Structure 1
Protein backbone atom coordinates (compact mmCIF):
# COMPACT_ATOMS: atom_id res chain seq x y z
CA UNK A 1 0.00 0.00 0.00
CA UNK A 2 2.82 2.40 0.87
CA UNK A 3 4.62 1.71 -2.43
CA UNK A 4 1.43 2.47 -4.36
CA UNK A 5 0.90 5.74 -2.48
CA UNK A 6 4.52 6.75 -2.96
CA UNK A 7 4.32 5.94 -6.70
CA UNK A 8 1.10 7.98 -7.03
CA UNK A 9 2.69 10.93 -5.24
CA UNK A 10 5.70 10.81 -7.58
CA UNK A 11 3.42 10.65 -10.64
CA UNK A 12 1.36 13.60 -9.40
CA UNK A 13 4.55 15.48 -8.56
CA UNK A 14 5.87 14.98 -12.10
CA UNK A 15 2.56 16.10 -13.65
CA UNK A 16 2.47 19.13 -11.38
CA UNK A 17 6.07 20.00 -12.31
CA UNK A 18 5.36 19.68 -16.06
CA UNK A 19 2.15 21.75 -15.93
CA UNK A 20 3.71 24.22 -13.50
CA UNK A 21 6.70 24.62 -15.81
CA UNK A 22 4.45 25.19 -18.81
CA UNK A 23 2.44 27.76 -16.88
CA UNK A 24 5.45 29.63 -15.51
CA UNK A 25 7.12 29.80 -18.94
CA UNK A 26 3.88 30.88 -20.63
CA UNK A 27 3.95 27.85 -22.93
CA UNK A 28 0.68 26.46 -21.55
CA UNK A 29 -1.30 28.63 -23.99
CA UNK A 30 0.71 27.30 -26.94
CA UNK A 31 0.40 23.67 -25.80
CA UNK A 32 -3.34 23.92 -25.12
CA UNK A 33 -3.81 25.77 -28.42
CA UNK A 34 -1.98 22.97 -30.23
CA UNK A 35 -4.22 20.36 -28.59
CA UNK A 36 -7.33 22.35 -29.46
CA UNK A 37 -6.30 22.41 -33.14
CA UNK A 38 -7.05 18.69 -33.05
CA UNK A 39 -10.60 19.50 -31.95
CA UNK A 40 -10.88 22.07 -34.76
CA UNK A 41 -9.89 19.41 -37.28
CA UNK A 42 -13.09 17.51 -36.44
CA UNK A 43 -15.27 20.40 -37.67
CA UNK A 44 -17.43 20.25 -34.54
CA UNK A 45 -16.62 23.85 -33.58
CA UNK A 46 -17.17 25.44 -37.00
CA UNK A 47 -19.64 28.31 -37.38
CA UNK A 48 -23.19 27.36 -38.33
CA UNK A 49 -23.44 28.96 -41.76
CA UNK A 50 -27.00 27.71 -42.28
CA UNK A 51 -28.16 29.60 -39.20
CA UNK A 52 -26.54 32.81 -40.49
CA UNK A 53 -28.61 32.53 -43.68
CA UNK A 54 -31.73 32.80 -41.54
CA UNK A 55 -30.80 36.32 -40.35
CA UNK A 56 -33.09 39.05 -41.61
CA UNK A 57 -30.57 41.19 -43.47
CA UNK A 58 -33.07 44.04 -43.86
CA UNK A 59 -33.75 44.14 -40.14
CA UNK A 60 -32.26 47.28 -38.55
CA UNK A 61 -30.94 45.13 -35.69
CA UNK A 62 -28.58 43.44 -38.16
CA UNK A 63 -26.96 46.73 -39.23
CA UNK A 64 -23.32 46.69 -38.19
CA UNK A 65 -21.91 49.46 -36.02
CA UNK A 66 -19.04 51.15 -37.87
CA UNK A 67 -18.24 53.66 -35.10
CA UNK A 68 -15.25 51.73 -33.77
CA UNK A 69 -11.80 53.26 -33.92
CA UNK A 70 -8.77 50.99 -34.11
CA UNK A 71 -5.00 51.26 -33.79
CA UNK A 72 -2.79 48.97 -35.89
CA UNK A 73 0.62 47.51 -35.06
CA UNK A 74 2.33 50.63 -36.48
CA UNK A 75 0.39 52.87 -34.07
CA UNK A 76 -1.80 54.31 -36.85
CA UNK A 77 -5.46 55.08 -36.19
CA UNK A 78 -7.92 53.31 -38.47
CA UNK A 79 -11.63 54.08 -38.50
CA UNK A 80 -13.80 51.03 -39.08
CA UNK A 81 -15.93 53.31 -41.26
CA UNK A 82 -13.08 53.24 -43.83
CA UNK A 83 -13.87 49.55 -44.40
CA UNK A 84 -17.53 50.10 -45.26
CA UNK A 85 -18.40 48.45 -48.59
CA UNK A 86 -16.09 45.49 -47.98
CA UNK A 87 -16.92 42.19 -46.32
CA UNK A 88 -15.40 42.39 -42.84
CA UNK A 89 -14.08 39.38 -40.96
CA UNK A 90 -13.61 40.56 -37.36
CA UNK A 91 -12.10 38.28 -34.74
CA UNK A 92 -11.77 39.18 -31.03
CA UNK A 93 -8.81 37.33 -29.56
CA UNK A 94 -5.94 37.46 -27.05
CA UNK A 95 -2.50 35.87 -26.80
CA UNK A 96 -3.37 34.26 -23.44
CA UNK A 97 -6.44 32.48 -24.91
CA UNK A 98 -5.69 28.87 -26.05
CA UNK A 99 -8.75 28.60 -28.38
CA UNK A 100 -7.70 31.89 -30.01
CA UNK A 101 -4.19 30.55 -30.57
CA UNK A 102 -5.67 27.30 -31.93
CA UNK A 103 -7.70 28.99 -34.68
CA UNK A 104 -5.02 31.47 -35.82
CA UNK A 105 -3.25 29.22 -38.39
CA UNK A 106 -6.58 28.60 -40.17
CA UNK A 107 -7.47 32.29 -40.11
CA UNK A 108 -4.07 33.12 -41.60
CA UNK A 109 -4.63 30.59 -44.40
CA UNK A 110 -8.07 32.09 -45.04
CA UNK A 111 -6.51 35.57 -45.13
CA UNK A 112 -3.96 34.41 -47.70
CA UNK A 113 -6.72 33.01 -49.91
CA UNK A 114 -9.27 35.85 -50.06
CA UNK A 115 -9.54 38.88 -52.33
CA UNK A 116 -8.18 41.71 -50.15
CA UNK A 117 -9.98 44.22 -52.36
CA UNK A 118 -13.30 42.74 -51.24
CA UNK A 119 -12.60 41.33 -47.75
CA UNK A 120 -11.04 43.17 -44.81
CA UNK A 121 -9.76 41.48 -41.65
CA UNK A 122 -9.94 43.06 -38.20
CA UNK A 123 -7.94 40.86 -35.85
CA UNK A 124 -8.87 42.74 -32.67
CA UNK A 125 -6.53 41.97 -29.78
CA UNK A 126 -7.98 42.21 -26.28
CA UNK A 127 -4.55 41.90 -24.65
CA UNK A 128 -3.91 44.56 -22.00
CA UNK A 129 -0.41 44.96 -23.42
CA UNK A 130 -0.88 45.34 -27.19
CA UNK A 131 2.83 44.79 -27.77
CA UNK A 132 2.30 41.13 -26.78
CA UNK A 133 -0.16 40.74 -29.66
CA UNK A 134 2.24 42.44 -32.08
CA UNK A 135 5.13 40.24 -30.95
CA UNK A 136 2.97 37.09 -31.14
CA UNK A 137 1.86 37.94 -34.69
CA UNK A 138 5.44 38.57 -35.82
CA UNK A 139 6.80 35.44 -34.09
CA UNK A 140 4.18 33.27 -35.78
CA UNK A 141 4.72 34.92 -39.17
CA UNK A 142 1.03 35.63 -39.73
CA UNK A 143 0.23 37.87 -42.68
CA UNK A 144 -2.78 39.72 -41.28
CA UNK A 145 -2.58 43.00 -39.37
CA UNK A 146 -3.47 43.08 -35.68
CA UNK A 147 -5.43 45.91 -34.09
CA UNK A 148 -6.42 47.10 -30.67
CA UNK A 149 -9.50 49.15 -29.88
CA UNK A 150 -8.96 52.90 -29.66
CA UNK A 151 -11.66 53.53 -27.07
CA UNK A 152 -14.75 51.53 -26.25
CA UNK A 153 -15.85 48.57 -28.34
CA UNK A 154 -19.42 49.12 -29.60
CA UNK A 155 -22.03 47.19 -27.62
CA UNK A 156 -22.92 44.88 -30.52
CA UNK A 157 -19.35 43.51 -30.53
CA UNK A 158 -19.07 43.01 -26.77
CA UNK A 159 -18.84 39.31 -26.12
CA UNK A 160 -18.54 37.27 -22.95
CA UNK A 161 -16.54 34.72 -24.92
CA UNK A 162 -13.30 34.86 -26.84
CA UNK A 163 -12.57 34.11 -29.48
CA UNK A 164 -15.65 35.61 -31.08
CA UNK A 165 -15.89 36.16 -34.81
CA UNK A 166 -18.21 38.50 -36.68
CA UNK A 167 -18.81 38.77 -40.42
CA UNK A 168 -20.27 41.95 -41.87
CA UNK A 169 -21.42 41.87 -45.48
CA UNK A 170 -20.61 44.52 -48.09
CA UNK A 171 -23.99 46.19 -47.41
CA UNK A 172 -23.07 46.74 -43.77
CA UNK A 173 -25.20 43.95 -42.28
CA UNK A 174 -23.93 41.76 -39.45
CA UNK A 175 -24.49 38.33 -41.00
CA UNK A 176 -22.55 36.02 -38.68
CA UNK A 177 -21.63 35.89 -35.01
CA UNK A 178 -19.67 32.84 -33.88
CA UNK A 179 -18.61 32.55 -30.24
CA UNK A 180 -15.78 30.15 -29.59
CA UNK A 181 -13.10 28.80 -31.86
CA UNK A 182 -13.73 27.69 -35.39
CA UNK A 183 -11.98 26.54 -38.54
CA UNK A 184 -12.56 29.28 -41.08
CA UNK A 185 -10.23 27.85 -43.71
CA UNK A 186 -12.91 25.64 -45.24
CA UNK A 187 -14.50 25.52 -48.68
CA UNK A 188 -17.94 26.24 -47.16
CA UNK A 189 -16.75 29.28 -45.22
CA UNK A 190 -14.90 30.71 -48.23
CA UNK A 191 -18.07 30.28 -50.29
CA UNK A 192 -20.04 32.00 -47.51
CA UNK A 193 -17.64 34.96 -47.56
CA UNK A 194 -17.94 35.31 -51.34
CA UNK A 195 -21.73 35.36 -51.03
CA UNK A 196 -21.37 38.46 -48.80
CA UNK A 197 -19.65 40.62 -51.51
Structure 2
Protein backbone atom coordinates (compact mmCIF):
# COMPACT_ATOMS: atom_id res chain seq x y z
CA UNK A 1 0.00 0.00 0.00
CA UNK A 2 1.16 3.44 -0.84
CA UNK A 3 1.25 5.89 2.08
CA UNK A 4 -0.91 9.02 1.53
CA UNK A 5 1.03 12.24 0.97
CA UNK A 6 -1.20 14.21 3.30
CA UNK A 7 -1.43 12.55 6.69
CA UNK A 8 -3.40 14.11 9.56
CA UNK A 9 -0.19 15.21 11.31
CA UNK A 10 1.08 16.88 8.12
CA UNK A 11 -2.18 18.78 7.70
CA UNK A 12 -2.13 19.95 11.34
CA UNK A 13 1.50 21.03 10.96
CA UNK A 14 0.69 23.09 7.83
CA UNK A 15 -2.31 24.71 9.59
CA UNK A 16 -0.21 25.68 12.64
CA UNK A 17 2.54 27.14 10.43
CA UNK A 18 -0.11 29.03 8.46
CA UNK A 19 -1.64 30.47 11.63
CA UNK A 20 1.80 31.58 12.83
CA UNK A 21 2.38 33.43 9.56
CA UNK A 22 -0.92 35.33 9.64
CA UNK A 23 -0.37 38.46 11.80
CA UNK A 24 -3.89 38.44 13.30
CA UNK A 25 -3.49 34.93 14.72
CA UNK A 26 0.23 34.95 15.54
CA UNK A 27 0.06 37.04 18.72
CA UNK A 28 -2.83 35.12 20.39
CA UNK A 29 -1.03 31.84 19.73
CA UNK A 30 2.25 33.18 21.09
CA UNK A 31 0.50 34.59 24.19
CA UNK A 32 -1.15 31.21 24.78
CA UNK A 33 2.21 29.43 24.57
CA UNK A 34 3.86 32.02 26.83
CA UNK A 35 1.15 31.59 29.48
CA UNK A 36 2.28 27.99 29.78
CA UNK A 37 5.87 29.12 30.28
CA UNK A 38 4.77 31.86 32.69
CA UNK A 39 3.55 29.31 35.21
CA UNK A 40 7.08 29.29 36.63
CA UNK A 41 7.63 31.47 39.66
CA UNK A 42 10.71 33.72 39.60
CA UNK A 43 13.58 33.08 41.98
CA UNK A 44 14.85 35.31 44.73
CA UNK A 45 18.48 36.46 44.44
CA UNK A 46 20.60 35.23 47.34
CA UNK A 47 21.42 37.98 49.85
CA UNK A 48 25.17 37.90 49.11
CA UNK A 49 24.58 38.43 45.36
CA UNK A 50 22.07 41.28 45.52
CA UNK A 51 22.92 44.54 43.83
CA UNK A 52 21.88 47.75 45.60
CA UNK A 53 20.61 50.82 43.76
CA UNK A 54 23.20 53.56 43.71
CA UNK A 55 20.60 56.30 43.59
CA UNK A 56 16.89 56.95 43.30
CA UNK A 57 17.59 60.32 41.65
CA UNK A 58 17.04 61.36 38.06
CA UNK A 59 14.37 58.90 36.91
CA UNK A 60 11.11 60.60 36.12
CA UNK A 61 8.01 58.88 34.85
CA UNK A 62 4.50 59.88 33.86
CA UNK A 63 1.35 57.79 34.23
CA UNK A 64 -1.47 57.44 31.69
CA UNK A 65 -3.31 60.39 33.25
CA UNK A 66 -0.28 62.65 32.84
CA UNK A 67 0.68 62.60 36.53
CA UNK A 68 4.41 62.84 37.17
CA UNK A 69 6.19 60.27 39.31
CA UNK A 70 9.71 60.89 40.58
CA UNK A 71 11.47 57.60 41.38
CA UNK A 72 12.86 59.33 44.48
CA UNK A 73 9.34 58.79 45.95
CA UNK A 74 10.06 55.02 45.94
CA UNK A 75 13.08 55.30 48.24
CA UNK A 76 12.56 53.30 51.44
CA UNK A 77 9.64 51.34 49.98
CA UNK A 78 9.14 47.94 48.36
CA UNK A 79 9.03 48.45 44.58
CA UNK A 80 7.89 46.21 41.72
CA UNK A 81 9.20 47.41 38.33
CA UNK A 82 8.19 45.77 35.05
CA UNK A 83 9.38 46.87 31.60
CA UNK A 84 6.94 45.68 28.94
CA UNK A 85 5.18 46.44 25.60
CA UNK A 86 1.70 45.87 24.20
CA UNK A 87 3.09 43.90 21.23
CA UNK A 88 5.15 41.52 23.41
CA UNK A 89 3.48 38.07 23.88
CA UNK A 90 5.46 37.17 27.06
CA UNK A 91 4.51 40.58 28.54
CA UNK A 92 0.84 40.04 27.77
CA UNK A 93 1.01 36.50 29.17
CA UNK A 94 2.26 37.62 32.60
CA UNK A 95 0.01 40.70 32.96
CA UNK A 96 -2.95 38.84 34.58
CA UNK A 97 -0.67 37.51 37.35
CA UNK A 98 0.72 41.02 37.92
CA UNK A 99 -2.83 42.42 38.07
CA UNK A 100 -3.82 39.83 40.70
CA UNK A 101 -0.70 40.63 42.74
CA UNK A 102 -1.43 44.35 42.44
CA UNK A 103 -4.98 43.85 43.73
CA UNK A 104 -3.63 42.52 47.04
CA UNK A 105 -0.43 44.57 47.44
CA UNK A 106 -1.20 47.98 45.92
CA UNK A 107 -1.26 49.65 49.35
CA UNK A 108 2.14 48.27 50.43
CA UNK A 109 4.16 48.06 47.21
CA UNK A 110 4.85 50.63 44.51
CA UNK A 111 4.06 49.06 41.13
CA UNK A 112 5.78 50.67 38.14
CA UNK A 113 4.83 49.04 34.84
CA UNK A 114 6.90 50.96 32.31
CA UNK A 115 6.50 51.01 28.52
CA UNK A 116 8.05 53.27 25.91
CA UNK A 117 4.99 53.15 23.68
CA UNK A 118 2.60 56.02 22.99
CA UNK A 119 0.08 56.83 25.72
CA UNK A 120 -2.86 56.09 23.38
CA UNK A 121 -1.52 52.61 22.64
CA UNK A 122 -1.05 51.86 26.33
CA UNK A 123 -4.49 53.24 27.27
CA UNK A 124 -6.18 51.16 24.58
CA UNK A 125 -4.40 48.05 25.82
CA UNK A 126 -5.36 48.76 29.44
CA UNK A 127 -9.03 49.38 28.55
CA UNK A 128 -9.28 46.28 26.39
CA UNK A 129 -7.81 44.05 29.10
CA UNK A 130 -9.35 45.81 32.12
CA UNK A 131 -6.12 45.86 34.13
CA UNK A 132 -6.36 47.81 37.38
CA UNK A 133 -2.76 48.93 37.80
CA UNK A 134 -1.34 52.13 36.40
CA UNK A 135 1.06 52.14 33.46
CA UNK A 136 4.00 54.51 33.18
CA UNK A 137 6.27 55.97 30.55
CA UNK A 138 9.84 57.09 31.23
CA UNK A 139 10.47 60.80 30.81
CA UNK A 140 14.17 60.36 31.61
CA UNK A 141 16.43 57.32 31.42
CA UNK A 142 16.02 54.63 34.06
CA UNK A 143 18.91 54.02 36.49
CA UNK A 144 21.80 51.98 35.09
CA UNK A 145 20.75 48.86 37.01
CA UNK A 146 17.50 48.81 35.02
CA UNK A 147 18.99 49.13 31.53
CA UNK A 148 17.77 46.10 29.59
CA UNK A 149 17.54 44.92 26.01
CA UNK A 150 14.78 42.39 26.57
CA UNK A 151 11.19 42.53 27.75
CA UNK A 152 9.48 41.68 29.90
CA UNK A 153 12.12 42.56 32.47
CA UNK A 154 11.01 42.72 36.08
CA UNK A 155 12.72 43.84 39.29
CA UNK A 156 11.60 43.55 42.89
CA UNK A 157 13.39 45.99 45.20
CA UNK A 158 13.42 45.99 48.99
CA UNK A 159 13.20 49.01 51.31
CA UNK A 160 17.00 49.33 51.42
CA UNK A 161 17.24 49.51 47.61
CA UNK A 162 18.53 45.97 47.05
CA UNK A 163 17.33 44.12 43.97
CA UNK A 164 15.71 40.99 45.41
CA UNK A 165 14.40 39.60 42.11
CA UNK A 166 15.62 40.26 38.58
CA UNK A 167 13.61 38.27 36.03
CA UNK A 168 13.85 38.41 32.26
CA UNK A 169 10.91 36.81 30.47
CA UNK A 170 7.41 35.90 31.55
CA UNK A 171 6.76 34.62 35.07
CA UNK A 172 3.93 33.85 37.46
CA UNK A 173 4.08 36.91 39.72
CA UNK A 174 1.02 35.84 41.70
CA UNK A 175 2.66 32.70 43.08
CA UNK A 176 2.87 31.75 46.76
CA UNK A 177 6.65 32.11 46.49
CA UNK A 178 6.48 35.75 45.32
CA UNK A 179 3.79 36.57 47.87
CA UNK A 180 5.98 35.19 50.68
CA UNK A 181 8.92 37.31 49.50
CA UNK A 182 6.68 40.41 49.35
CA UNK A 183 5.23 39.73 52.79
CA UNK A 184 8.76 39.41 54.23
CA UNK A 185 9.94 42.60 52.48
CA UNK A 186 6.94 44.59 53.68
CA UNK A 187 7.38 43.37 57.27
CA UNK A 188 11.13 44.15 57.30
CA UNK A 189 12.34 47.43 58.78
Note if contact 2:20-2:29 (Cα within 8 Å) is conserved in structure 1.
no
User: Is residue 69 from structure 1 mapped to residue 63 from structure 2 by the alignment?
Assistant: no
1:53 corresponds to which of 16, 30, 47: 47
Note if contact 1:99-1:163 (Cα within 8 Å) is conserved in structure 2.
yes
Q: What TM-score do you get using the length of structure 2 for normalisation?
A: 0.83
Note if contact 2:112-2:136 (Cα within 8 Å) is conserved in structure 1.
yes
Per-residue Cα deviation, 1:88-116 (whole angstroms, up to 9, x for no partner) = 000000111111111111111111121x3
Give the equivalent residue in structure 1 for 2:80: 89
Query: What is the distance in 2 between the residues matched to 1:168 and 1:9?
Result: 49
Query: What is the distance in 1 between the residues matched to 2:179 and 2:9?
Result: 50
1:19 positional shift: 2.9
Matches within 5 A, 1:77-116: 77-114=68-105, 116=106
Q: What TM-score do you get using the length of structure 1 for normalisation?
A: 0.80
SS in 1 for 2:61: strand
Query: What is the distance in 1 between the residues matched to 2:52 and 2:116?
Result: 24
**Structure 2: stretches of 5+ with no match in the other structure:** none
Give the equivalent residue in structure 1 for 2:108: 118
Per-residue Cα deviation, 1:123-172 (whole angstroms, up to 9, x for no partner) = 00133x23212211121011100001012222210112211111111222
Query: What is the distance in 1 between the residues matched to 2:101 and 2:15?
Result: 40
1:78 positional shift: 1.1
**Structure 1: stretches of 5+ with no match in the other structure:** none
2:168 corresponds to which of 165, 172, 179: 179
CA change 1:184–1:10 in 2 (3 A) is: closer
Count residues in correspondence: 184
Per-residue Cα deviation, 1:32-62 (whole angstroms, up to 9, x for no partner) = 1122112223x2xx3222x343435xxxx51
Note if contact 1:70-1:78 (Cα within 8 Å) is conserved in structure 2.
yes
